[in-house]
């Protein structure tokens, strides 16, 4: 009887101690206010609760109201400090590699691979980034412009012959085909693999509970990774067996780098890089583009100003049918403001994670600085009016500011920003100069917290008759 009493008492004391330690994580200084939620689960369920707002996510809004713009919580088993404070978020971005370092939850690294560019640091990170910029930097994009325009024109023509087109999927397919061609010469008409299908559910699975059970987004992502990596690995072996004379696509260039004497690049790092790029280059942009078209449908004033900007480009040309020039592209001031405002609101990357490297006030943090669609900002101040590299030859400049971090900031500023802007601007140019559209159905958004269009966004395109 006594033994049972002692055993139960010990159990109760241990559980109480464990719950107390959970609620009060160890820290030499003072942690910001906030709740650690339930033991094990933390506040993960509240974080993932679907919401339909384009405003600040309710999870953040409620806690900012209660605790202030910097608070602690526990998400997917990790204690994190959330910053909705622009000054702190900006400061953390500037401290990359010094006080803070890029860090992502296990689900993210399991899906993207432990050697993905976001998890690498120092020399290897810089080396990978410079490789990516050979494709998505200034010179690469300048070369790509005619191809992007041709692809956009062809697809819009195709869509205009359909009764209804679901824009999220249609834009994803358009962008994937273009980038997969640039990256690995993938041709969907010739390939037996539906490569894009492997990347479905990614946005949902990246930051989720690591439950690898059928039916979860995480499980789907892992399966998708397995298939896509198998394909990339086979392709790598094939190309190493039968090297091509001149590099045709980005993968050829990467393979050349692996084969250089004294290289620091390994096959595994190269494969993870190709995998991340394949995903990042289409899903993000297609979501932003779909949302952009939805915003234009909802705001005729913005549509009118945007159309005017693009019609002026055509009017100022000697030959209205000649393709877009780089100068014309760079002149799309209002379009870049509109794209930035859309990216800010699309909040496609719902959280940016960092780990504190030295003992400072904050341990890990997630950032949230993107909210409310504000048309008054378009054409006004506060937002960048240019594509990123307008004033610099190489695309290392970034136009992140304390109030605009949709593409991140500091050293890890998104390497795909200019590629996204190029594609969005070119599609919008062709769309508003050649077509009108009517909404058929869908267009509502849900954030979990990744952005989704649960019912798609179906529109009917009509050619404009001048």
The residue nearest ligand HEM at its CB is: 416
Q: How near is the Cβ of 117 to ligand HEM at its closest, in Å?
A: 5
Q: Which of 36, 111, 117, 174 forms a contact with ligand HEM (CB under 6 A)?
A: 117
Of 59 and 365, nearer to ligand HEM (C-beta) is: 365
Of 156 and 277, nearer to ligand HEM (C-beta) is: 277
Q: Which of 75, 81, 277, 366 forms a contact with ligand HEM (CB under 6 A)?
A: 277
Of 277 and 432, nearer to ligand HEM (C-beta) is: 277
Of 171 and 208, nearer to ligand HEM (C-beta) is: 171
Q: CA nearest 43: which of 27, 26, 63, 24? A: 63
What residues contact 447, with CB distance under 8 A and at least 6 apart? 50, 51, 52, 53, 57, 347, 350
Q: How near is the Cβ of 280 to ligand HEM at its closest, in Å?
A: 4
The interface region with ligand HEM, picked from 14-22, 218-226, 281-289, 449-457 by CB under 6 A, is 281-289
Is residue 102 part of the contact set for ligand HEM (CB under 6 A)? yes
Of 37 and 452, nearer to ligand HEM (C-beta) is: 452
Is residue 137 part of the contact set for ligand HEM (CB under 6 A)? no
Q: Which of 48, 100, 108, 136 forms a contact with ligand HEM (CB under 6 A)?
A: 136
Is residue 459 part of the contact set for ligand HEM (CB under 6 A)? no
Q: Which of 167, 178, 288, 400 forms a contact with ligand HEM (CB under 6 A)?
A: 288
Q: CA nearest 41: which of 77, 5, 13, 65? A: 77
Of 36 and 411, nearer to ligand HEM (C-beta) is: 411
| Lookup result for tokens 């913005």 | 302
How far apart CA 179 and CA 135 sit, in angstroms, is 10
Q: How near is the Cβ of 232 to ligand HEM at its closest, in Å?
A: 16
Of 36 and 378, nearer to ligand HEM (C-beta) is: 378
How far apart CA 175 and CA 164 sit, in angstroms, is 19
With b meaning 16 or more CB within 10 Å and e meaning fewer, what string describes 174-203?
A: bbbbbbbbbbbbbeeeeeeeebbebbbbbb
Is residue 95 part of the contact set for ligand HEM (CB under 6 A)? no
Number of other residues whose CB lies within 10 A of the CB of residue 79: 18
Q: CB of 402 within 8 A of CB of 411?
A: no
Is residue 199 part of the contact set for ligand HEM (CB under 6 A)? no
Of 36 and 95, nearer to ligand HEM (C-beta) is: 95
The interface region with ligand HEM, picked from 35-43, 187-195, 308-316, 412-420 by CB under 6 A, is 412-420
The angle subtended at Cα 286 by Cα 383 and Cα 355, nearest 5°, is: 65
Is residue 296 part of the contact set for ligand HEM (CB under 6 A)? no
Q: Which of 73, 83, 115, 420 forms a contact with ligand HEM (CB under 6 A)?
A: 420
Of 36 and 60, nearer to ligand HEM (C-beta) is: 60
Of 352 and 425, nearer to ligand HEM (C-beta) is: 352
Among positions 336-355, residues that touch ligand HEM (CB under 6 A) are 343, 348-349, 352
Site string for ligand HEM, 357-396 (x = CB under 6 A): ----------------------------------------
Q: CA nearest 200: which of 232, 178, 231, 168? A: 168
Is residue 274 part of the contact set for ligand HEM (CB under 6 A)? no
The interface region with ligand HEM, picked from 151-159, 161-169, 279-287, 291-299 by CB under 6 A, is 279-287
How far apart CA 288 and CA 364 sit, in angstroms, is 28
How far apart CA 149 and CA 424 sit, in angstroms, is 10
The interface region with ligand HEM, picked from 79-87, 229-237, 404-412, 444-452 by CB under 6 A, is 404-412
Is residue 445 part of the contact set for ligand HEM (CB under 6 A)? no
| Lookup result for tokens 């993960």 | 44
Of 69 and 286, nearer to ligand HEM (C-beta) is: 286
Residues that bind ligand HEM (CB under 6 A): 102, 117-118, 129, 136, 276-277, 280-281, 284-285, 288, 343, 348-349, 352, 406-408, 412, 414-416, 419-420
């Amino acid at each position: 009887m006594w033994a049972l009493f002692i055993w139960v008492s010990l159990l109760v004391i241990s559980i109480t101690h464990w719950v107390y330690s959970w609620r009060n994580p160890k820290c030499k200084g003072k942690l910001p206010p906030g709740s650690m939620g339930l033991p094990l689960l933390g506040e993960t369920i509240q974080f993932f609760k679907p919401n339909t707002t384009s405003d600040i996510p309710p999870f953040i809004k409620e806690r900012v109201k209660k605790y202030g713009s910097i608070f602690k919580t526990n998400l997917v088993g990790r204690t994190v400090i959330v910053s909705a404070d622009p000054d702190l978020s900006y400061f953390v971005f500037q401290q990359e590699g010094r006080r803070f370092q890029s860090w992502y939850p296990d689900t993210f690294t399991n899906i993207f691979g432990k050697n993905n560019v976001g998890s690498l640091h120092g020399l290897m990170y810089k080396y990978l980034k410079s490789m990516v910029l050979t494709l998505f930097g200034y010179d690469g994009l300048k070369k790509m412009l005619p191809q992007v325009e041709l692809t956009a024109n062809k697809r819009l023509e195709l869509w205009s012959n359909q009764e209804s087109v679901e824009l999220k999927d249609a834009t994803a397919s358009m962008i994937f085909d273009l980038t997969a061609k640039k990256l690995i010469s993938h041709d969907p008409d010739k390939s037996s693999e539906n490569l894009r299908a492997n990347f479905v559910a990614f946005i949902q699975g990246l930051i989720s509970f690591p439950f690898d059970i059928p039916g979860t987004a995480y499980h789907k992502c892992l399966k998708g990774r397995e298939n896509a990596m198998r394909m990339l690995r086979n392709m790598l072996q094939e190309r190493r067996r039968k090297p091509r004379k001149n590099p045709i696509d980005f993968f050829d260039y990467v393979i050349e780098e692996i084969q250089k004497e004294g290289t620091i690049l390994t096959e595994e790092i190269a494969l993870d890089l190709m995998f991340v790029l394949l995903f990042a280059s289409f899903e993000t942009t297609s979501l932003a583009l779909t949302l952009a078209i939805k915003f234009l449908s909802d705001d005729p004033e913005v549509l009118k100003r945007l159309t005017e900007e693009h019609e002026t480009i055509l009017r100022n040309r000697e030959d209205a049918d000649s393709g877009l020039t780089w100068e014309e592209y760079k002149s799309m001031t209002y379009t870049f403001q509109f794209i930035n405002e859309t990216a800010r609101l699309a909040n496609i990357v719902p959280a940016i994670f960092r780990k504190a490297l030295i003992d400072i006030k904050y341990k890990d943090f997630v950032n949230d600085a993107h909210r409310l669609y504000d048309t008054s900002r378009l054409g006004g101040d506060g937002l960048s009016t240019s594509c990123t590299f307008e004033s610099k030859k190489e695309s290392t400049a970034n136009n992140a500011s304390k109030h605009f971090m949709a593409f991140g900031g500091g050293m890890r500023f998104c390497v795909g920003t200019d590629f996204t802007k190029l594609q969005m601007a070119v599609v919008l140019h062709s769309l508003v100069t050649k077509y009108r559209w009517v909404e058929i159905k869908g267009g509502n958004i849900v954030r979990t917290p990744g952005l989704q269009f649960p019912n798609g966004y179906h529109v009917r395109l009509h050619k404009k008759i001048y």
